[in-house]
Amino acid sequence: MSGDVVVLGVGMHPWGKWGRNFVEYGVAAARDALRDAGIDWSQVQFVSGADTMRNGYPGYVSGATFAQALGWNGARVASSYAACASGVTAIEAARTRILAGMCDVALVVGADTTPKGFLAPNAGDRPTDPDWLRFRLVGATNPTYFALSARRRMDLYGATSEDFARVKVKNAGNGLANPNARYQKPVTVEDVLASPIVANPLHLLEICATSDGGAALVLASASFAARHAGTAGAPVRVAAVSTVTPTYPQTRIDLPDLATDSTAVVAEPARPFKESIAFAAYEEAGIGPEDLSLAEVYDLSTALELDWYEDIGLCGRGEAEGLLRDGATEIGGRIPVNPSGGLACFGEAVPAQAIAQVCEITWQLRGQATGRQVEGAKVGITANQGLFGHGSSVLLAR
């Protein structure tokens, strides 16, 4: 359709612990995406940056930072921050600008350099900041929240530590063929269970690391893409983007809060927050979970990948372990999940990660995911959730 937005080019700087300036990764990814799109930087009319909070001022104005690094070309810029969902918020800024007819070609870039260890809040006493309070008053790290979810699966649905470990084993296997993955090493269930427990029941190998990396997309109007000679065949189409927030009352304790909303007066919504994220994308596109060829979901922990199976509608509540045990979510299964290797193989580069998910689905839908290709992939979804109530999902189709 002429009113569509398409992915003209994708690019990534490999994930790792490189310790260099984040701008370098973003620029490398952007140049890759421009090359992949077959267009010049001078043709980009809008730069949409996904911010990093850990690299000073240039990170807060990432759109301008990347634009300057590529050489000022007069493009309009925006910079978005939505924690782990920053990448999709930046994609949505670019997509809506194209849909509004205000530009034809936009560049979306996210990159990060991250410190070692748990992500911790900024320094100084900030007793009104929920992110400070959860560390000070409860000692609740990010893995605490991941583990609450995992334990609940064990007590309610009979999930086992072996089930969780198998998610890691699957993703590690997928990542072996991904040149952008940080960890390219097979992992066994025994390896996972032998690693130290961080937050019971989750082991060190089940919690995603933080990484350096960069990812970029060139988005364009379908009419520009049709005029543009560089694209062979039908380009991958952005069928929907979801950046929904929760609907009151939010009944799952979510990072960084210490309490839920109350259900005393208003009942929990029919679709709790995490379920509403992908659903909003399905509704916008008129595509359902039964149409999916693959999914890239945010496996911040092994058990969270299982939550996502249910939240994006691949199966009913409590059925995710069964889907995993049946091999349905492996490459070659009914609905492969995280063929890229997921966060298990990447580690999280916060502002780049949601963009990287879109890169992977684009390669998959083009048939270019060498060594990890989902055969005949036509429709893919990304799903993710950012701190402070940021939904993040992109539906792509070809």
Burial class (CB in 10 A: 0-12, 13-18, 19+), 1: exposed
Q: What is the CA radius of gyration of the chain?
A: 20
If one asks whether residue 74 binds another protein (CB under 8 A), the answer comes out as no
- Our finding on whether 301 is near another protein (CB under 8 A) is no
Cβ 144 to another protein shortest distance, Å? 6
Nearest distance in Å: CB 387, another protein: 15
**Total residues at the site for another protein (CB under 8 A)?**
47
CB-based burial, 150-177: b 16+ in 10 Å, e otherwise: bbebbeebebebebbbbbbbbbbbbbeb
Span from 24-32, 129-137, 284-292, 360-368 in contact with another protein (CB under 8 A) = 129-137
- Site for another protein (CB under 8 A): which residue of 102, 137, 194, 226? 137
Among 133, 176, 193, 328, binds another protein (CB under 8 A): 133
User: Nearest approach, Cβ of 122 to another protein (angstroms)?
Assistant: 10
Q: How far is CA 33 from CA 59, 115, 222, in A?
A: 20, 27, 17
Which one of residues 56, 74, 117, 233 is an interface residue with another protein (CB under 8 A)?
A: 117
Per DSSP, 85 falls in state T
Report if residue 245 touches another protein, rule: CB under 8 A. Answer: no
Q: How far is the CB of 130 from another protein (least distance, A)?
A: 9
User: Could you tell me where the beta strands, DSSP code E, fall in 46-140?
Assistant: 46-50, 76-80, 105-112
From the list 341, 240, 253, the residue with the least C-alpha distance to 14 is: 341
Please pick, from the candidates 127, 229, 233, 376, the single residue that binds another protein as defined by CB under 8 A. Answer: 127
Closer residue to another protein (CB): 302 or 362: 302
Between 200 and 368, CB nearer to another protein: 200
User: Distance of CA 111 to CAs 140, 144, 163, 271, Å?
Assistant: 27, 26, 32, 32
Strand partners of residue 220: 6, 105
Interface residues toward another protein, by CB under 8 A: 117-118, 120-121, 123, 125, 127-128, 132-141, 144, 147-152, 155-156, 196-202, 248-249, 251, 253, 258-266
